[in-house]
Amino acid sequence: MRILATGLSGGIGAALQHRLAQRSDVELIALARKPDHAGARPFDVTWDIARLAAALKDVGQIDALVLLHGADILSPPLCQQSYWDRLDVLYQVDVLGSIKTVKAALEHLAPGGAIVVMGWDHADTGAPGDASELYATAKAALVGFAKSLATTLLDRASVYVIAPGWVMTRWAQSLSAEQQEQIRARTRAHRWQTPDEVAAVIESVLQLPPSALTGQVFYVNHGDVMPS
Ligand SMILES: NC(=O)c1ccc[n+]([C@@H]2O[C@H](COP(=O)([O-])OP(=O)(O)OC[C@H]3O[C@@H](n4cnc5c(N)ncnc54)[C@H](OP(=O)(O)O)[C@@H]3O)[C@@H](O)[C@H]2O)c1
């Protein structure tokens, strides 16, 4: 299985990379905006569509496209920007960046292949605060795209959304023990998700029978919040 992926330098991406490194049947092709990421192809999802397509020209046939990139508006420097600038960067990276990357990679996807994009478990239930408003706007838009894409592609390829809750990644680790505890206490399951738990679900959806579950949103949050 050849998997083309963005965001492997992030918390969830690193966990997925670690899992897939144990598998002899998987070739992982990394796309990264920072050229220092080992073995990665240079790829910034904010590039225009022609440049993204050119960057993938010689990638060969792939069996899955896994998009783990995302704008981290909770950490510096983005957390210091205005509401409107954070909204814009989320749109450019999470929404437009994902749509453009899918369109640029689609011609390389084998019949019966899979596309995975990242949502957020509160995107369709809502949560208070500026960051929640911004993330929910971007992630709900991405879910709308993914569900429609699933119907466009039907038997040609499967499209899945992975929607984690609170995951112990870079931003979470930067919080004080007290802040981490406050968030943990707010969850129904009284726990943070680990990046590996999310990575395990991503690995699992790539093994699903083609098309049967296309268009689904998989909530990875131990039942913390579900849409009504
Ligand atoms: N962590 C959570 O609690 C949580 C919860 C729900 C959903 N999610 C979603 O899950 C995904 C992964 O989350 P994470 O916490 O692992 O993310 P993360 O640690 O913040 O990493 C983000 C990744 O996106 C890449 N990226 C950012 N802008 C990019 C661009 N313009 N072009 C290409 N790559 C770009 C980053 O690359 P650089 O190394 O170059 O910065 C990094 O690899 C994101 O979509 C996030 O929104 C996360």
Number of domains in the chain: 1
Return the CATH number at 178: 3.40.50.720
Beta-bridge partner residues of 115: 65, 159
Q: What DSSP assignment string belongs to 71-115?
A: --TTSTTGGGS-HHHHHHHHIIIIIIHHHHHHHHHGGGEEEEEEE
Residue 93 backbone phi and psi in degrees, to 5:
-90, -55
Q: Cα–Cα distance between 90 and 206 in angstroms, integer?
A: 26
Q: Is residue 160 part of a domain?
A: yes
Does 93 sit in the ligand 1 pocket, CB within 6 Å? yes
- What are the pLDDT digits (tens) for 56-92? 999 999 999 999 999 999 999 999 999 999 999 999 9
Edge-to-edge strand ranges of the sheet holding 2-6: 41-42, 27-32, 2-6, 62-67, 109-118, 157-164, 217-220
- Is residue 108 domain-resident? yes
Q: How far is the CA of 68 from the centre of ligand 1 (A)?
A: 6
Residues in Cβ contact with 77 at an 8 Å cutoff, skipping those fewer than 6 apart: none
Average pLDDT score over the chain: 94
Determine, yes or no, domain membership for 225: no
Looking at residue 227, its pLDDT comes to: 62
pLDDT class of 189 with cuts at 50, 70, 90: confident
Host H or E run for residue 153: helix 130-153
Q: Atom 26 in ligand 1: which residue has the minimum CA distance?
A: 69
Does the CB atom of residue 7 touch ligand 1 within 6 A? yes
Nearest C-alpha neighbor of 139 from the set 157, 117, 160:
117
Q: Report which DSSP code applies to 8.
A: T
Q: Does the residue 73 lie in any domain? A: yes
- Taking CA atoms only, the protein residue closest to ligand 1 atom 13 is 12
Min mean pLDDT across 66-70, 98-102, 142-146, 182-186 is at 182-186
Q: State the SS3 of 34-56.
A: CCCCCCCEECCCCCCHHHHHHHC
Ligand 1 proximity of 173 Cβ (cutoff 6 Å): no
DSSP state of 156: G
Domain residues for 106? 2-220
Q: What's the pLDDT at 225?
A: 72
Q: Residue 49 falls within a domain, yes or no?
A: yes
Residue 172's contacts (CB-CB under 8 Å, 6 or more residues apart) are: 166, 180, 183, 192
> For ligand 1, is residue 33 a contact (CB within 6 Å)?
yes
pLDDT value of position 36? 72
DSSP-based three-state secondary structure for 33: coil
Residue 226, pLDDT > 80, answer no
Is there a domain that residue 201 lies in? yes
Atom of ligand 1 nearest to the CA of 164: 6
Is there a domain that residue 116 lies in?
A: yes
